[in-house]
Chains A and B, each alone.
Chain A
Amino acid sequence: MTVLVLVEHDNASVKDATLAAVTAAGKLGEVHALVAGQGAQAAADAAAKIAGVAKVLLADDAAYGHALAENVAPLIVDLMANYDAFVAPATSNGKNIAPRVAALLDVMQISEILSVESADTFTRPIYAGNAIAKVQSSDAKKVITVRGTAFEKAAKDGGSASVEAISGKGDAGLSSFVGAEISKSERPELTSAKIIVSGGRALQNSENFHTIIEPLADKLGAGVGASRAAVDAGYVPNDYQVGQTGKIVAPEVYIAVGISGAIQHLAGMKDSKTIIAINKDEDAPIFQVADIGLVGDLFKVVPELTSKL
């Protein structure tokens, strides 16, 4: 079986989510990587070095510059004549493009797989991660998105794949990119951070987030996350949100500060190796999943913790 993997990149380098998708795809067969973009040669070169990638296809065209699904999906659909499966990381890009590909191929997508049981059988979370379904696909070609935290990341080095330039139909003329507001952060990216410090509604305002959560995160070299309540209240931008509808993370250590632990939040972090909860309500549901809990007022406890580290 040959598998086409969609590479998530910023033209210069390959994003970590791709590495997990390569590992998942490798369980199915030979892995070819597709880099679609504009001026993406460097990303293609980086993809060629990923261990386990046999070949890189580079589609370099202005039409693919902003990963518009209307332009990228037909490119993939044409390539799929030669592939048995298409695998994308379950990033916002992958989630946007893959179902469009699946429908054009007339197959059901298997979303956010957690494991590959066999060539046609996979496990995936449903009901906000409260149940795990084992599903078997009867489609001839498989379209799959991969939950990045569920698979080991393939090594960034060690591969020596060839890069082949390809072209597609280009601009479908249905949509155009207007602009982006990307949050700037010096801290580790949430989905790949080893340690995450997350704050909830109990922080009360944006300023407290900056003065209480961020110093602790910086001391630990951690990424900063938030609950939906904290995002909705405007304490932090929405790409900080961890949960069913935000980012799914599985760091070594997840420190939840002032987060009650609603099921939608747990869906995004309960696969963390160690969960630490700081909350003044000893009955908060977060303590049912926390490995280490401290009942106390975060406004006293967290600054004390930061100073003692």
Chain B
Amino acid sequence: MKVLVPVKRVIDYNVKPRVKMDGTGVDLANVKMSMNPFDEIAVEEAIRLKEKGIATEIVAVSIGEAKAQETLRTALAMGADRAILVTAEGDVEPLAVAKILKAIVDEEQPGLVILGKQAIDDDSNQTGQMLAALTGRPQGTFASKVEIEGDTVKVTREVDGGLETVSLKTPAIVTTDLRLNEPRYASLPNIMKAKSKPLAQKTPGDYGVDVTPRLATLNVSEPPKRVAGVKVADVDELVAKLKALGVAA
């Protein structure tokens, strides 16, 4: 089966984001950008399915500014076969991303779409579920294990109280949780090879999707700062503090 893997270019997860003084957003100028960590896990899972002989072709897709091409090259270097870049300026909301992905799903007919469970910039956790809704396909969200059995996929999901397993009819949509796998690093020869793999350039208009945001961001601010605390010298002092807080008798 063909596997489609949407990937997003986001601020590197180790960078502490800085809110712009004018309250219009987070300052992304000259900040290190990387592939969203959950998407790396999605790419890795697709490659493992190919290595098991289940996936026949892996198509990576990214939607965003032209620089998202770098993110796609990373996916290609990890092992994806070809890529589609849908160029759009500004933030594209999950609903619009899901609509573009639906059009690509209609065109490519993948047996499985694997997405990250959330992007670490907008923290929405919506796109996979929305894509499943728009395509009328079942969804296996927050997956920590994915097993293909004939025309069904068994997905173990991380839920609040523990784990839950569901069986989905393929074609299906899966979103990855952290513990699904450990993504591989792209080797230098593979990075070189990735440069010659096919990368198609598209626009939202090609798919007839309007990317006008439904949510207007009125203001972005710093969260309230915590006041600096005190250090205690020993356990006795800590016990006294706990007693003062009323949590210890």
Interface residues of A (CB under 8 A from B): 66, 68-70, 73, 91-93, 95-104, 106-112, 121, 125-139, 173-183, 191, 195, 219-220, 228, 231-232, 237-239, 244-245, 247, 252-253, 263-264, 270, 274-276, 282, 287-296, 301, 304-305, 308-309
Contacts and interface: CB of A to CB of B under 8 A. Distances in A.
A126 B164 contact: no
B111 to A, nearest CB: 14
A280 B127 CA distance: 41
A175 B215 contact: no
Interface string B169-210: 100000001110000000000000000000000000000000
Given A98-B129, A294-B238, 7 more contacts: A109-B126, A126-B26, A131-B220, A245-B177, A275-B226, A276-B238, A294-B235
A95 B220 contact: no
B150 interface: no
B167 A138 contact: no
A305 B235 contact: yes
Interface residues on B, range: 35 or more
Given A108-B215, A308-B236, A131 B222 contact: yes
Contact of B126 (A73, A102, A132, A232): A102
A129 B225 CA distance: 12
Given A128-B123, A293-B232, A308-B236, A68 B166 contact: yes
**Chain B, interface SS category:** mixed
A135 to B, nearest CB: 4
Interface stretch (B11-19, B42-50, B56-64, B74-82): B11-19
Interface stretch (B1-9, B65-73, B239-247): B239-247
A179 B247 contact: no
Contact of B220 (A101, A109, A126): A126
A220 B242 CA distance: 10
B164 A177 contact: yes
A125 B247 CA distance: 29
Given A108-B93, A239-B162, A309-B239, A174 B137 contact: yes
A125 B223 CA distance: 8
Nearest to A175: B138
Contact of A274 (B16, B129, B245): B245
Given A73-B133, A133-B220, A128 B120 contact: yes
B233 to A, nearest CB: 8
B53 interface: no
B133 A133 contact: no
B112 interface: no
Given A100-B130, A292-B232, A70 B214 contact: no
A93 B159 contact: yes
Given A92-B160, A252-B247, A103 B217 contact: no
**Chain A, interface SS category:** mixed
Contacts of B16: 130, 263
A293 B231 contact: yes
B11 to A, nearest CB: 7
B123 A103 contact: no
A127 to B, nearest CB: 4
A182 B129 contact: no
A138 B216 contact: yes
A68 B133 CA distance: 13
B148 interface: no
B245 A289 contact: no
Contacts of B248: 219-220, 309
23 contacts: A69-B132, A69-B139, A96-B129, A100-B129, A107-B214, A125-B123, A133-B217, A133-B220, A138-B214, A138-B216, A174-B138, A175-B139, A177-B166, A180-B164, A181-B164, A182-B163, A239-B160, A245-B118, A253-B245, A263-B16, A274-B245, A287-B229, A293-B232
Contact of B216 (A135, A174, A275): A135
B54 interface: no
Nearest to A305: B235
Contacts of A294: 231-232, 234-235, 237-238
Contacts of A183: 161-162
A99 B129 contact: yes
B142 A69 contact: no
B181 to A, nearest CB: 12
Contacts of A97: 129
Contact of A238 (B121, B166, B179, B219): B179
B40 interface: no
A110 to B, nearest CB: 7
Nearest to B124: A111
Contacts of A289: 226, 229
B29 interface: no
